[in-house]
């Protein structure tokens, strides 16, 4: 049943305009049911967002596919993800690039996701517990950057960690009902240009880290 639902989802993504076969194949290879709570396994291949705890969600597959396609990822690239969540987006990215570096602010999510990715053998993904809005200087520069929660403005510190060929994809918006997925790209003169892609609705991006052991 799940496999049939996965095939149906990939066909739906094609109908919604996802044309990059590498992206579609990457999504087809990732077992989305492994990234959602057991209670939602029957909905794993519905084109919808699902809760994963801590007020976070796993994005709907069409948004994951669209964001991934917009990044134009090459096989030798390094990608930085801000907001690991359950690890689904990172898993999709991992099939397209050399290495994914991902940062999660919730310590419990970080631990469970690290365990999940290890068990599923996504060996080219490295995640850490930290404040994603500070980036990951030790691993910079990055060819691509993706933010998986909505932010009003991308911090300069993240742009500073991008390579010359950099592309950034992020949901931007001051209000939950006024968010746009925006693509940033370097122009020939080195300055950053941007393009609004489509309206979206994401949970808000927050700074700092959350240590559940301390909070409790």
Q: What are 139-190's pLDDT values in tens digits?
A: 999 999 999 999 999 999 999 999 998 999 999 997 778 899 999 998 878 8
Classify 2-215 by CATH class.
Answer: alpha beta
How far is it, in rounded angstroms, from Cα 200 to Cα 98? 28
Q: Which listed residue (25, 59, 72, 196) is catalytic? A: 59
Give one word for 126, left, alpha or beta, with left for phi > 0 and alpha for psi -120 to 50.
Answer: beta
Burial of residue 39 (number of CB atoms within 10 Å: 0-12, 13-18, 19+): exposed
How far is it, in rounded angstroms, from Cα 3 to Cα 190? 45
- Cα 216 to its chain centre, rounded Å, is 28
For residue 196, indicate whether it is catalytic. no
Residue spans of the domains in the chain: they are 2-215
pTM comes to 0.94
């Amino acid at each position: 049943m799940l496999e049939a639902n996965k095939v149906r989802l990939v066909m739906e993504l094609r109908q919604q305009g996802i044309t990059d076969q590498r992206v579609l194949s990457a999504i087809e290879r990732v077992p989305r049911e492994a990234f959602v709570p057991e209670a939602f396994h029957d909905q794993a291949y519905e084109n919808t967002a699902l809760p994963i705890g801590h007020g976070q969600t796993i994005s709907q597959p069409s948004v994951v596919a669209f964001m991934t396609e917009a990044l134009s990822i090459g096989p030798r690239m390094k990608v930085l993800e801000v907001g690991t969540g359950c690890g689904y987006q990172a898993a999709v990215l991992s099939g397209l690039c050399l290495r994914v570096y991902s940062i999660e602010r919730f310590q419990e999510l970080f631990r469970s996701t690290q365990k999940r990715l290890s068990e599923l053998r996504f060996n080219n993904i490295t995640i850490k517990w930290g404040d994603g809005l500070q980036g990951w200087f030790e691993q910079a520069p990055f060819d691509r950057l993706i933010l998986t929660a909505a932010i009003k403005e991308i911090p300069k510190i993240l742009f500073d960690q991008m390579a010359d060929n950099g592309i950034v994809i992020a949901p931007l918006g001051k209000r939950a009902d006024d968010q746009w997925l925006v693509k940033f790209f370097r122009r020939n003169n080195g300055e950053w240009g941007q393009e609004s892609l489509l309206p979206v609705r994401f949970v808000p991006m927050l700074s700092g880290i959350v240590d559940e052991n301390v909070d409790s």
